[in-house]
Amino acid sequence: MSTPITILADILKYTIAAATPLLFASIGGLFSQLAGMLNIALEGLMGLGAFFGMAAAGASGSLVVGAMAGIAAAVVGSWLMGIITIKFKANLFITGLAVNLLAVGVTAVLSQSWFHTKAVVAFDIPRVMPAFPAFLGRIPFIGPVLFSQNILSASAWLWVIAAAFIIRNTRHGVRIRATGMNEEAVNALGYRPDRYHMAALIWSGVGSGLGGFALGVSISAFVPNITAGRGWIALVAMYLGRGKPLWIAASCLLFALAESLSNYVQGFSAIPPLLVLALPYAVTLVSLVAAAAGKKD
Amino acid sequence: MQPMIAVRMRGISKRYFPSGIRANDEAMLEVERGSIHAIVGENGAGKTTLMKILAGLELPDAGTIEIEGKPVHIQSPAHARELGIGMVHQHFLMFDDLTTAENIFFGLEPLRVSKIPGVLGILDRQSLVEQTRRIAADYGFVLDPMAQAGDLSISARQQVEILRQLARNLHILILDEPTSVLTEQETTALFEKLAEIRRMGHTIIIVTHKIDEVMRIADRVTVMRQGKTIGTYDIAATTANELACLIMGTNVCEEISPRTEPAAQGPVVFQIEGLRARGHHHGETGVTDLHFAVHAGEVLGVCALSGNGLAELEDALGGFLVPSKGFCIFDGSRLDIRRIHEYRQLLKKGAIGYLPSDRMRRSMALSLTVRDNFMAVSRTRYFHRGWFRSTLATRQTQDALHSFDISAQPEQKTVELSGGNIQKLAIARLFSIQLPKLLILCEPTWGLDIKSTENVHRRILDAKAAGSAILILSSDVDEILALADSIMVLYRGRAVLLASNSGELNRERIGEYLLGARSE
Amino acid sequence: MMHSERELPAGARIALAVALSIALAAAVLALFTKDFSPALGQFFFEPFANRYFFGNYIADSVPLMIAGLGVLIAFRSRNFNLGGEGQIYAGAIAAGMLALSLPERISPAEAWLFAALAGMVAGGLIGALSGILKALWHVSEMISSFLISAIVLNVGDYLITGPFQDPASNFQTTRQISSQLLLPRILAPSKLDISVFIGLALIAVLAIMSKHTRPGFELRVCGENEEFARYCGIPVALYQSAAMAISGALYGLAGALIVMGPQARVMRGFSSGLGWSAISVALLAQSSEAGVLPSALFIAYLKAGSDHVMIGSGVPSEIISILQAAAMFFITARHFPVRKRRRP
């Protein structure tokens, strides 16, 4: 017996949940953007985070271990990208593409080797604890939408706030931003821009790793192409946010809403599901173009 | 008692590659502690290079440096800072999206030690603001610590730069052309602050080409010319005119190239009215209110020192900068230059030939071959029905190389050529087309040896005799004097002189206009 | 610490990239197969073992040649076309559906021509869209081409499994194109067809155009130095958009030719991964059209090896992604940092 209100609540609830991986990854991408590097490997890094995170969580029975493993895997990927780009003076976009390809290959090969399948790998992981006490969940409308979310989704918002704080209020954050504003000045003042470039990439690894892990947890499994372009969508969300964490979060919610709507429409309407799947990409593209067109150079 | 020497540089030599230009040639410098010491000279005299060496941004090929009597090898800007040397550059090292306070204390921000120290240390914002206020007050600056650096005026940004050095307890301060971006009042204010800084015991070195300002603020002055140190003088014991002479080297300059024949004035080919264009960098003056005309068979030489608008004039006339105001009359028809597409058409059709001053980026694509660069501008000529006429292109390239005495092969990568040869190639390319009605030549012989310079000058005179109208933008006074029928001098973006090149004008007189010591 | 750096010449980078991907292939096989020796043989030698395998290997290099040329042209104008996956798909569907709706009495050659054109137009329009978005509004062509491709892939999947689905087949595919309209095979029973000559011809034509025609020259100048190109009066924005359009068109053509060959139908997901492989082909070719030939043959060789070793030893054919990634890392590394002790 679904009324329009419950349908809306469902959609919004799913939106907030779907925003979780995007929030993690896009804020991670923000760090590298602030240092002047457009990191297009968010997609691949998320994939690494999902695979290794789920594998570790399944093997250890602990979500915390899984999260750490997911972060570690993505950090290794971003570190590799950083070393080759910075020390070997490679092209950042090509190393980014390479990391994306590497993730696809590594996850497939290891999936076959460890789990004997390249397709869906289900993991037996503990349930993620809810973030709020149960009685809050019974408040009409806001209850299901906001207060039934789990701690992983809540952490995503903590991540946004923490990142905003680090960026604005720590010496480290100031230096990363300065590197992006005027690398030459950083150098002339006696600090090494290379270090902050690398640090920024590592941060984006942390964010993407967590984002990928969150994806895996949401379906208790790993599937090939689990990210399905979310890394790119996170990138656009970051671009739309113009460097401000709160605006980035808002963009993530927008794209998560598109995903949520497309899920909903698939179940209910006559529009072919495959077409509906294209909705999030279309929304992302239109937003990107609108934002770029609106910018007065 | 002997005054303590803060800085002593001896025998400093530095050569830049691949141009091979000797920026410093056994230069020397002695600066007394607690004084304001000026280094003056024309563009390319070597002043900035010498200071970059002192500040650790460049390494000398030879020479010694002593700081407060101790010999040192300055390896890097960080090392220079350890020695107490700080440099305020012409183009500021600002972080636009950080606040004033964050800019000043970048890298040394006070932290809240109660939380996490070290690199993740949390800024103690209150302390940051307090310290900023304090240091500004100490030296008599008035600044808002919370303002965004990007919003500050030029002079405020400069103050931030200076405070940045002072905040790090740097007691030897180098300022590179500090007043090139300031108005009169701002300059006065700056000088007051510099006097205050000197009073606190710091040593200040100012690099400038503005004699009038040197006379106002400095205690002693070192004159440099062509990479060498000419001499060091007490300000009290010299005059502006004397300095101008020393800078220009009037004594040395007897053999000026033969003056050109006074031109039979042909019709006006190109006329500019009310040109105004904004400067490239924040708030630089650009050019304001320029009016001039060039006749067929005439050379108009426009002369200015760097930072006074020559670059903006070039970019506007070359179609690379949209002016905020301006009309041009070319060959009878009037055109609003702001309609940049139409203006560029004139350049494209070859009616106006433009030789850029930036040889490395605008005039050439260094990774292409000599032949490719040569044929690029008039490329339509080398494709017959779509097919590349390789032999024709090679032959014409070789003819040009030979005719201009360029030692290069058409198949060579342009980057391998010396700076002088690259310029000769650019000129050869310009003159190989059917002679344009108007030639705009920017710094045509900068960096060329005497023989090549003569060659180029000869070509220019040939073009003039053939009826082209020629506009030369150059900071080389000798060149302007040798070639121009009329001379225009820019200072701070305005024309301070526009007159015919009669016997009245010589190096010294033009120098005075250039240096802002005189104006019509 | 003073770092003195030597720039690696292109030849050295290519050699490194090739050597490393081969070494990595061997390493992965060693780690993940039960029997190393037969796996090595499957990867490195089976593609040459007989006419069938060899023909298939060469056939797989053809779309890489053609699409790789397109990516190269985009690179020339400093553009990254990341929408190849969608552009191939679109080209294939356009060509396939056109071929299926052609009248009975059409000649094969006409069919090939129309199919090729359909593929190029489909891919070209998609590529052009990214180019125009960049020229007009500075939208990153990387991101826009990827997103458009993602949309196109979904739409394509829908079309193939929906309105264009072959009712007679259990697979997700369109109907089969009538065999007389297909490109003739060369090395039966492999799938190699005359499109290999089209690929070779394209390489030759584009190489010649690049060296001997005015657009080739102007495009090159645009890529080398944009400011100089402006000085010469070359319409930089136009060339950039055109390069994206051409790149899309060549991807589309590659898709069309696969469909008009022995595959004879558009199967869902048939071109997966080709878009990215074409990028590594273009990178290895290092700005030379002629270089696309050995580059495509090399990447196709790695792919063939990966496919063989999957069938033979069960290692997922996605090894190819790891190998391509390694090749890309090394081909793009420009400097090799060497430490030098600080002067006292």
Domain coordinates in residue numbering, chain A: 20-241
* C-chain residue closest to B379, CA distance: C214
Tokens of C242: 């055109």
Interhelix angle for C236-259 vs C274-285, to 10°? 120
State the Cα–Cα distance between residues B180 and B207, nearest whole angstrom: 11
Q: Which residues of B touch C218 (CB under 8 A)?
A: 379
State the Cα–Cα distance between residues C328 and A81, nearest whole angstrom: 11
From the list A166, A172, A189, the residue facing B106 with the nearest CB is A189
- Condensed to tens digits (0 to 9), the pLDDT of residues A145-180 reads 888 888 999 999 999 999 999 999 888 999 999 999
State the Cα–Cα distance between residues B388 and C130, nearest whole angstrom: 31
- Return the DSSP state at A145: I
Question: Where do the H-state alpha helices sit in B404-449?
Answer: 419-432
- Condensed to tens digits (0 to 9), the pLDDT of residues B242-268 reads 887 788 776 543 344 445 555 556 788
The secondary structure element, H or E, covering residue B287 is: strand B287-295
Domain ranges of chain B: 1-56+76-84+173-190+210-252, 86-170, 268-351+436-514, 364-428
Pick the residue with more confidence: B495 or B180? B495
- Residues found in chain A: 297
- Residues found in chain B: 520
State the Cα–Cα distance between residues B498 and B490, nearest whole angstrom: 9
User: Given CB atoms, is B96 within the 8 Å cutoff of chain A?
Assistant: yes
User: Given CB atoms, is C213 within the 8 Å cutoff of chain B?
Assistant: yes
* B-chain residue closest to C209, CA distance: B387
**Of the ranges A40-54, B145-159, B276-290, which one carries the lowest mean pLDDT score?**
B276-290
Distance from the Cα of residue B315 to its chain's centroid: 14
A99 to chain C, minimum CA–CA distance in Å? 7
State the Cα–Cα distance between residues B357 and B474, nearest whole angstrom: 9
Q: Which residues of A touch B123 (CB under 8 A)?
A: 169-171, 174
State the Cα–Cα distance between residues B414 and B364, nearest whole angstrom: 8
- Condensed to tens digits (0 to 9), the pLDDT of residues A256-283 reads 999 999 888 887 777 888 888 899 999 9
Q: Which residues of C touch A275 (CB under 8 A)?
A: 154-155, 158
Task: Give phi and psi for A68, each to the nearest 5.
Answer: -60, -40
CB C73 within 8 A of CB C237: no
Interface partners of chain A (CB pairs < 8 Å, 3 or more) are B, C
Q: What is the mean pLDDT of residues C64-74?
A: 95
For chains A and B, CB pairs below 8 A equal 58
Q: Which residues of B touch A191 (CB under 8 A)?
A: 107
From the list A169, A187, A190, the residue facing B123 with the nearest CB is A169
Percentage with pLDDT > 70 across chain A: 99
Is C1's pLDDT higher than 70? no
Instruction: Test A293 with C136 for CB contact under 8 angstroms.
Output: yes
Number of structural domains in chain C:
1
Tokens of C309: 């070793």
Task: Give phi and psi for B211, each to the nearest 5.
Answer: -65, -40
Which of B104, B106, B111 is the best mutation test for A, with the most CBs of A within 10 A? Answer: B106
Same fold across B1-56+76-84+173-190+210-252 and B268-351+436-514? yes
Tokens of B215: 């006379």
Position C343 in a domain: no
State the Cα–Cα distance between residues B128 and B108, nearest whole angstrom: 10
- Here the CATH number for the domain that contains residue C252 is 1.10.3470
The secondary structure element, H or E, covering residue C115 is: helix C108-137
Within 13 Å and on the Cβ side, how many CA atoms surround B72? Answer: 23
pLDDT at B248: 73
Position C2 in a domain: no
Gyration radius of chain C over CA positions: 21
Position C3 in a domain: no
State the Cα–Cα distance between residues B430 and B452, nearest whole angstrom: 16
Q: Are strands B287-295 and B268-277 parallel, antiparallel or unpaired?
A: antiparallel
Unique residue bearing structure tokens 């040939």: B462
User: Given CB atoms, is C218 within the 8 Å cutoff of chain B?
Assistant: yes
Nearest CA to B308 among B159, B441, B161, B488?
Answer: B488
Position C92 in a domain: yes
Instruction: Test A189 with B96 for CB contact under 8 angstroms.
Output: no
CB A162 within 8 A of CB A168: no
From the list A98, A108, A292, the residue facing C139 with the nearest CB is A292
- Work out the angle at residue B460's Cα, subtended by the Cα atoms of residues B454 and B462, and round it to the nearest 5 degrees: 100
Burial class (CB in 10 A: 0-12, 13-18, 19+), C10: middle
- Condensed to tens digits (0 to 9), the pLDDT of residues C281-331 reads 999 998 899 999 999 999 999 999 999 988 888 888 899 999 999 999 989
Evaluate the CA torsion angle A116, A118, A119, A125 in order and state its sign. Answer: positive
Is B137's pLDDT higher than 50? yes
pLDDT band at B115 (very low <50, low <70, confident <90, very high): low
pLDDT at B501: 85
Position C342 in a domain: no
Which of A33, A167, A170, A177 is the best mutation test for B, with the most CBs of B within 10 A? Answer: A170
The CATH class of the B268-351+436-514 domain is alpha beta
pLDDT at B257: 44
pLDDT band at B276 (very low <50, low <70, confident <90, very high): confident
Q: What is the mean pLDDT of chain A?
A: 91
**Looking at the DSSP assignment, which residues form a beta bridge with residue B399?**
none
Looking at residue C209, its amino acid is: M
pTM over 0.90: no
- Condensed to tens digits (0 to 9), the pLDDT of residues B306-327 reads 778 888 899 999 888 888 888 8
Q: Which residues contact C323 (CB under 8 A, 6 or more apart)?
A: A105, C21, C24, C25, C302, C306
From the list C214, C232, C342, the residue facing B386 with the nearest CB is C214
State the Cα–Cα distance between residues C324 and C196, nearest whole angstrom: 23
First-last CA distance in chain A: 52
Domain that holds residue C110: 8-335
Is C255's pLDDT higher than 90? yes
User: Given CB atoms, is B450 within the 8 Å cutoff of chain A?
Assistant: no
- Work out the angle at residue C211's Cα, subtended by the Cα atoms of residues C124 and B370, and round it to the nearest 5 degrees: 130
State the Cα–Cα distance between residues B469 and B317, nearest whole angstrom: 14
User: Given CB atoms, is B247 within the 8 Å cutoff of chain C?
Assistant: no
Q: What is the three-class DSSP state of C152?
A: helix
pLDDT at C341: 46
Tokens of B298: 């005439």
From the list A171, A185, A191, the residue facing B121 with the nearest CB is A171
Name the CATH superfamily for B1-56+76-84+173-190+210-252. Answer: P-loop containing nucleotide triphosphate hydrolases (3.40.50.300)
State the Cα–Cα distance between residues B141 and B153, nearest whole angstrom: 14
User: Given CB atoms, is B82 within the 8 Å cutoff of chain A?
Assistant: no
C267 to chain B, minimum CA–CA distance in Å? 41
From the list B347, B361, B379, the residue facing C225 with the nearest CB is B361
pLDDT at B116: 61
CB B273 within 8 A of CB B296: no
pLDDT at B406: 84
Instruction: Test A285 with C147 for CB contact under 8 angstroms.
Output: yes
Nearest CA to C92 among C206, C215, C254?
Answer: C254
State the Cα–Cα distance between residues A171 and C106, nearest whole angstrom: 73
